[in-house]
Amino acid sequence: MPRSGSNLRTTLVAVVAFGIALPALLWLQPRGLVLGDPVVVALLVPLAVLIAGDRSQPSLGSGRLEERHGLRLVLAAAAVTALFWNAGWTMLVPAGVTLAAVPLVQRAGRRLAVVAGITATALTALGEAGVRTELLGSVLAPDHSHVGAGALLVLAWAVLLVVARHAADQAGYAHALARAEARLRALMESSTDVLTVSNGGGILTYVSPAAERAMGYRPADLLGRPLLDIVDAEHRPAVAARLSELMQRGADARSSMDVLVVHASLERRWYEWTFHNLLSDSLVEGMVVQQRDVSERLNAQRALAHAASHDDLTGLPNRGELLRRMSASLPQAGPGAAVAVLFVDLDHFKDVNDRLGHQAGDDVLVVVARRLAASLRAHDHLGRLGGDEFGVLLTEVHDEQEVSVVVGRLVNAIEQPITLPGGTVTVGASVGYAMSADPRMPLDRLLAAADQRMYATKAHRRR
């Protein structure tokens, strides 16, 4: 079907060219502007047009069309020259050959331009020699024909060289662009970062190949789906809000955030999303999002933050973290409620260290920490202050009796026997506490009061 359509177009071009050329030639002949038979010349017009055109060239010679520039040039030059010689227009041969050669030179470059120039020169010289010897007719006097042909030949050489230079520049640009595109493609294919482009409605219009390696999604499977489909359900509102904000800020707006992404395997990993609003860019027309897996980095940051704020042995918050939580909880006590700060100091712990060694002492601290945590409510806070001292923050308490009940439960849990590899040991605890319902109460005053009461309790237990 395509070949029949092409043949039809070729036939129409030939008929139209002949239909236009014949009346014009018949009008020019009585005026001495056409010397040959108008019908023959009119038949040569579509022949020259067709031979010089791209559509007829695939049937000429062998090999690919791009490899037949020389053949095409020779055939087109021969057809144009036959037309002009028959019409008595020999001086126009350089112009005709150049017009036929320009499209070919644009593809083939400088070498074909030189060949075309030499061809035009040779055919012009032959034609003008034929005019001089009266073997060929001319509508102009021989001297005028020679001058005109010479001028057109010089112009033809200039045009061919300019076209060749332009073609070389264009080829250089095309080569550089192809290299840049190939390099970009290689970078995109080797990158572990995922790049997506979504339209104003949040629908994905481009997904880089890295999506399959990093997330397990084939890019083709994501195209046409909402960008939020790959975001964990709990994080979608935040991501949607950020996208809306960027669109409101307008062209070239940028932002970044950490997003929990759901892989094709349903694994969830943290990605840093860097947004760039290029919706108004005619080349992109979308919201560009660079997605980089930062799970290991975030896990390392969390581990460092946890190590800095927690006790290595017991896993409890350390002194600094517990004090920070206490400071944050003081102003948050509900109406009619108070907070209580407890200091817990172990009794007879030094005896365990002296008798069974420091490893046994560490084991005791771990067991005590576990028992204390199990004896507290979910909204209370427990931490290790250092050595054999622990701190507790009770939130939402209403009177001292409630605190005393908690203290009794903690002491009872601590005093239960502890079985160690070296034997069974028992330790006790001295607990001091202080309460406050005033959110403006300085924390250091509460701590000092609890500490003082703990030492008073310890002194009393020693009697």
Two tokens, residue 226: 């909402």
What is the distance between the alpha carbons of residues 249 and 166, in angstroms, rounded to a whole number?
A: 44
- 222 and 326 assigned to the same domain: no
Query: Is residue 305 in a domain?
Result: no
Query: Is residue 100 in a domain?
Result: yes
Q: Report the CATH number that the domain containing residue 277 is assigned in CATH.
A: 3.30.450.20
Query: Is residue 418 in a domain?
Result: yes
Residues spanned by the domain of 266: 191-298
Q: What angle do CA 432, 437, 438 make, to 5 degrees?
A: 110
Select from 267, 298, 329 the last residue of a domain: 298
Report the pLDDT value the prediction gives residue 1, as an integer from 0 to 100.
43
The whole-number mean pLDDT for each consecutive block of 10 residues of the chain, a chain of 463 residues, reads 56 77 81 79 73 54 57 83 85 89 83 89 91 87 90 93 89 83 70 89 92 92 95 95 94 93 94 94 91 89 85 91 85 75 92 89 94 91 92 89 92 93 89 86 86 86 65
Query: Pairing state of beta strands 194-198 and 204-207?
Result: antiparallel
**Looking at the 3D structure of the chain, how many domains does it have?**
3
Report the pLDDT value the prediction gives residue 458, as an integer from 0 to 100.
83
- 154 and 208 assigned to the same domain: no
What is the distance between the alpha carbons of residues 437 and 330, in angstroms, rounded to a whole number?
A: 8
- 294 and 434 assigned to the same domain: no
- 283 and 432 assigned to the same domain: no
- 98 and 196 assigned to the same domain: no
- 254 and 274 assigned to the same domain: yes
Select from 261, 277, 298 the last residue of a domain: 298
Report the pLDDT value the prediction gives residue 63, as an integer from 0 to 100.
46
- 164 and 213 assigned to the same domain: no
Cα dihedral 402, 405, 409, 414, rounded to 10, equals 100
Query: Is residue 303 in a domain?
Result: no
- 338 and 357 assigned to the same domain: yes
- 151 and 234 assigned to the same domain: no
Report the pLDDT value the prediction gives residue 47, as an integer from 0 to 100.
72
Select from 182, 207, 242 the last residue of a domain: 182
- 14 and 120 assigned to the same domain: yes
Two tokens, residue 107: 């593809």
pTM, 2 dp: 0.49
- 320 and 430 assigned to the same domain: yes
Q: Report the CATH number that the domain containing residue 370 is assigned in CATH.
A: 3.30.70.270
Query: Is residue 304 in a domain?
Result: no
- 160 and 239 assigned to the same domain: no
